[in-house]
Structure 1
Amino acid sequence: MKNRLRVLRAEREWSQQDLADRLDVSRQSVNAIETGKYDPSLPLAFKLADIFGLAIEDIFLREEEQQAAAE
């Protein structure tokens, strides 16, 4: 699943470890989510949304949105 996590994290000048510490997960988990290798659980997605002050839909893109953005 595509997401804006890397951009949102960079805007705040946070490292992957900084975000991992806020989420109480490993840095490797943050990397896997950012690269689309791992889709977070719903509770973790809500936690991400809370940390960034956004709706889940503003962080994670549905496949239809990905295709529309590519066209």
Structure 2
Amino acid sequence: MLKGFRARDCHGKPKRAKKAHGILKENEQKGPRMPYRKLQAYIEYKANLEGIEVRFVKARNASRTCHRSGTLPEG
């Protein structure tokens, strides 16, 4: 059973997403499918319905941080 959920607190598109071999460029021409803030609010809403705690963390080093101890790897 899922007890908690951590998500990155993102504002806008990630900078490196724009460099993704033109795939994102083609999709941008059609228009955005769902803004990040709307998706974030939707996830928060659904988690609250199920009684799951949502904590937003800063995006810096979020993918490198250990999910258990919260520490960064050496090096």
* TM category, shorter: under 0.3
Kindly indicate which of the two structures has a greater share of residues assigned to strand: 2
Higher-helix-fraction structure: 1
TM-score (normalised: structure 1): 0.26
TM-score, with length taken from structure 2: 0.25
